[in-house]
Amino acid sequence: MSTNALIYVTDDEDTYAIYKHWNGHPQGVQPMIERALELAWKLPRFEANEFAAAFVAANKLIRGDVRLVNPDQYENTFFDYVYVIRHMEGSDKLNVTVGHNTGMDELDRITMEMRWVGYHTRLNEAYASGEDAA
């Protein structure tokens, strides 16, 4: 069974969305961010479109696993995890917000809870332990 995720990459101008079919848990996504950083502009330069492209290029190893999607088409779609990746000006790290599915509401809409915010370098350890973010 897959652990899928929707990963938003955003800056002051645009938001891009990436679908991840397998290993979308924080322990799988942190190394994917690291691989994308190897292809993207060196921080502190950050452009959402360029980072989203680097993320897909660095992590698409098999058909169907990682791809760009229209962010407006997935408003009420089930994902195990949802991530929002952004950069704060001048920083050498990315900020990541992590949420996951909490079920359905009374109108049959999927509900999500944002559970952790912190630096991409602490995504695995901090989210797994439940500690507060950086």
Q: Beta partners for 87?
A: 94
Question: Which band of pLDDT confidence, cut at 50, 70 and 90, is reported for residue 134?
Answer: very low
Quote the pLDDT of residue 20.
Answer: 94
pLDDT above 50: residue 10: yes
Residue 134 lies in a domain: no
Residue 31 lies in a domain: yes
pLDDT above 80: residue 19: yes
Residue 112 has which token pair? 């999500």
Domain residues for 39? 5-125
Quote the pLDDT of residue 80.
Answer: 86
Residue 93 lies in a domain: yes
Residue 99 has phi, psi (to 5 degrees) of -140, 165
Pairing relation of β-strands 110-119 and 94-104?
antiparallel
Q: What is the pTM of this model?
A: 0.87
CA 68, 74, 75, 79 dihedral sign is negative
Residue 62 lies in a domain: yes
Q: How far apart are CA 134 and CA 122, in angstroms?
A: 8
Q: Give 27's DSSP letter.
A: H
Q: How far apart are CA 32 and CA 59, in angstroms?
A: 6
Give pLDDT tens digits for 90-125. 899 999 999 887 777 787 777 778 788 888 888 877
| DSSP labels, 34-56 | HHHHHHSPPTT---HHHHHHHHH
pLDDT above 70: residue 126: no
Give pLDDT tens digits for 46-92. 999 999 999 999 999 999 899 999 888 876 577 888 999 999 998 99
Residue 22 lies in a domain: yes
Residue 50 lies in a domain: yes
Stretch 14-25: mean pLDDT, rounded? 93
Residue 133 lies in a domain: no
Domain count, the chain: 1
- Stated as kind and residue range, the H or E segment containing 126 is helix 123-129
Question: Which band of pLDDT confidence, cut at 50, 70 and 90, is reported for residue 1?
Answer: low
Residue 97 lies in a domain: yes
Which candidate, 112, 133, 113, places its Cα nearest to that of 123? Answer: 133
